[in-house]
Structure 1
Amino acid sequence: MRAVQVTGYGNVDKLKVIDAPIPEPKENEVLVKVKACAINNTEIWMREGAYGTGSKSGWRPEGVQFPRTPGSDITGEIVKVGGQTDEAMLGKRVVLFPFTSSGEEGTEHISEDMSFIGSEYDGGYAEYVVWPADLCFDMPLSSYSESAVFSVSGLTAWHMVKQIHVQPGETVMVTGANGGVGSLNVQIASKVFGAKVIAIIGDLEGEERMKELGATHVLSYRSDSLQEEILEVNGGQIDSVLDVVGDALFSISLQVLKKGGKFCISGSAGGQKTSLDFRTLYLKHITVYGSVMGTRAEFKDMLNAISEGKIKPVIDKTFPLEKAKEAQVYFKNKGKLGKILLLP
């Protein structure tokens, strides 16, 4: 089969297209013929070493074992089953839950042995992948490509919204609202949980599309008066912030939050370190949540919401598997709306 491997920490030159043996499923695994794999920050940051503070970086303390095939947002068809797997799964069109864990139900995502497909296991930048049968779920939509855009970004967004306990009518500010997680934060907060959403993007040419996704107001982070504009459109301070940007908008986020407000972060593309006056937190009674992934139950709830049409896929562009380098470079460009897909 064709596959793309990361050969070590570094730039896109570390991505190599190779010929590899088709993997064999173990007893409780299935072999999936990959039909689509969406790109996430996770595999780019894994390649760049951005999750670590030293020489090792990955979801586990020991770092990534190279070479590794990345890719975690995967849809495909089950074409072979392991010895202890129900043969009725053959031919099923599935979306893959993106990590393994021994954590109890509801705490899978914070278990110490949480291991991610595309980082600790070979992932979906390939024509075939093996995965535990019980982590393969029916696709929520008929299209492989459209069903592939939700796994990591959608689970992350769903968990973020659940963590801050969004109530109908509350105001939620979403940063990075044009990206994979951000665009889903907009949809989930507004169309599933009934919040009023202020979407923060760069280019206001995307305003109408953001409003179609559920945003009430759309503002640009390039504005010199963003803080004042947020307070003006909302008629005062806001209830919560869903952030994937980090440092660039952190200070403004804290300033526009009301007393008792909630700040949830699941990314730092705009800066991984920041300065903080702790008085802002305790004098305003602000709750801060760190968020990565979510639970299997949340994954199932998300898939149900997708199948019911409450959450729509947003796809920016597709690339063939052999163009993984170009796809990752394009992914890092600002201004895109939605997901980038690799199609084997």
Structure 2
Amino acid sequence: MKAMYHTGKNGLEGLQYTSEAPAKAPGYGEVRIRLKAAGINHRDLFIMNDRTAQDSPLIPGSDGAGIIEEIGEGVDAFRKGDEVIIHPTLGWNHAADVPAVPGIVGGPDHGTLAECITLPADNALPKPVMLSWEEAGVLSLSTLTAYRALFTRGNLLAGEHVLIPGIGGGVATSALLLAKAAGACVTVTSRSEAKRAEALRLSANQAFDSHGDWQQENALGPVDLVMDSIGQSLFSRYFEMLRPGGRIVMYGASSGDELKVPIRTIFFPQVSLLGTSMGSREEYVHMLEYIGRHHIRPVIDREYSLENTRSAFERIAQGEQFGNIAIRID
């Protein structure tokens, strides 16, 4: 089968296209899916950057959608030809049973940047009919992460004010759409004027320059919930916007892992700091129901062929995209 392997070098230099990758037969409780489309994420870049020349070849990619082409023993939920979407989190069924580190499709086991993938049948669900193959292919990881952050961890309610710094990435863009569907007011930030304009077009209520005067520009009052994927470069600024008793949900650290925050800015206003990562199968099912009820479709920035996956990753690495990037497999 055709596939993108990562091997030999770290980073994007290690990506290699092949038309001769072996396709794995499904074992007990597994299915093999012929993929129609896949998505790529920052997670794939982090994994490739951490790999060495001594690591075994890996097919990256956590998102995908396709057609069941082979079924292992013990699987009764599917038939050949069923159209499915991939839930990327492995072995995490219930939201409350949080693993130390969630297992994810696409590392350490092979992922979705290939013509076929074999995985547990529990990680395949019926593809939402309203979504195109490309939309279904990019949906899962970013939208599931946003859904858990907003609702399971952030307890977002209608009428609340959400701040989403760094709009443009897949999770942040999904969070904007999900929060607006819930009846929240949403403020976003970006260094890019074009991204701020696009967020406003997608119904954000306010859009600030990431390095501007937020307090001066804010016309919506204090923030109830911050969706933080940035970390140290903006973290101290969230307290300018948060109401007493507000929440910060942290799901990334794109500007670095270390934080230096005066503790009194947390305990006097009784701010809650909440961590989150990915999401469970239970939440994935709820997320699919939610996007169906509200007719939410992921924002696709660009589409690339499997052979041109490296160019797609370069666009993400340079922070140029707004939304998700789709890889056409078939």
Q: Give TM class, smaller chain.
A: over 0.9
CA distance in 1, matches of 2:159, 2:58: 45
The Cα of 1:227 is off from its aligned counterpart by 4.2
Moved more, 311-320 or 329-338: 329-338
Residues 1:300 and 1:78: Cα distance change in structure 2 (over 3 Å): same
- In structure 1, the partner of 2:204 is 215
Normalised to the residue count of structure 1, the TM-score between the two structures is: 0.88
1:182 corresponds to which of 163, 172, 197: 172
Counterpart selection for 2:79 from 62, 81, 89: 89
Q: Measure the CA separation in 1 of the matches of 2:77 and 2:126.
A: 15
- Aligned to 1:340, which of 306, 325, 329? 325
Count of residue pairs brought into register by the alignment = 325
Between stretches 200-209 and 253-262, larger displacement belongs to 200-209
Paired residue secondary structure (1:161): helix
Q: 1:203 corresponds to which residue?
A: 192
Letter in 1 for 2:108: E
Give RMSD over aligned pairs.
2.1
TM superposition score normalised by structure 2: 0.92
Aligned to 1:35: 36
| Deviating more after overlay: 259-268 vs 272-281 | 272-281
* SS of match in other structure, 1:34: strand
Show CA shifts across 1:139-185 (max 9, x none): 12341101122210000000000111111111110112221000111
Matches within 5 A, 1:272-291: 272-291=257-276
SS class of match (2:186): strand
Identical columns (%) = 28
- Partner of residue 47, structure 1: 48
User: C-alpha distance in 2, partners of 1:107/1:81?
Assistant: 30
Counterpart for residue 228 of structure 1: 216
Of 50, 59, 62, the match for 1:72:
62
- SS of alignment partner, residue 138 of structure 2: coil
1:130 aligns with 2:118: yes
Alignment-mate amino acid for residue 22 of structure 2? P
Kept in 2, the 8 Å contact 1:197–1:215? The answer is: yes
**Counterparts in 2 of 1:293-312, with a 5 A limit?**
293-312=278-297
Question: Do the aligned partners of 2:89 and 2:280 also contact (CA within 8 Å) in 1?
Answer: no
1:69·1:118 contact (CA, 8 Å) conserved in 2? yes
Cα deviations across residues 205-232 of structure 1 (Å, max 9, x unaligned)? 3344323433111112142x23432xx3
Q: Distance in 2 between matches of 1:20 and 1:173?
A: 44
- The code of the aligned residue for 1:186 comes to L
Counterparts of residues 102-117 of structure 1 (less than 5 Å): 105-108=94-97, 110-112=98-100, 114-117=102-105
Q: Is the Cα contact below 8 Å between 2:89 and 2:278 reproduced in 1?
A: no
1:202–1:335 Cα contact (<8 Å) kept: no
Residue of structure 1 equivalent to 2:2: 2
Residue-by-residue CA offset, 1:226-274 (whole Å, 9 max, x unaligned): 3432xx3223x21110111112211111232111110011112233323
Query: Structure 1 residue 137: deviation in Å?
Result: 0.6
1:60 counterpart residue number: none
User: Which ranges in structure 2 are unaligned for 5 or more consecutive residues?
Assistant: none
Write the distance in 1 (CA, Å) between the matches of 2:223 and 2:309. Answer: 40
Unaligned runs of 5+ in 1: 50-55, 58-63
1:280-309 C-alpha deviation (Å, 9 max, x unpaired): 111121100111011212111111122234
The aligned counterpart of 1:158 is: 147
The separation in 2 between residues aligned to 1:32 and 1:218, in whole angstroms, is 40
Letter in 1 for 2:312: A
8 Å Cα contact 1:184-1:311 kept in structure 2: no
Q: Does residue 255 of structure 2 align to residue 266 of structure 1? A: no
What residue in structure 2 maps to residue 17 of structure 1? 17
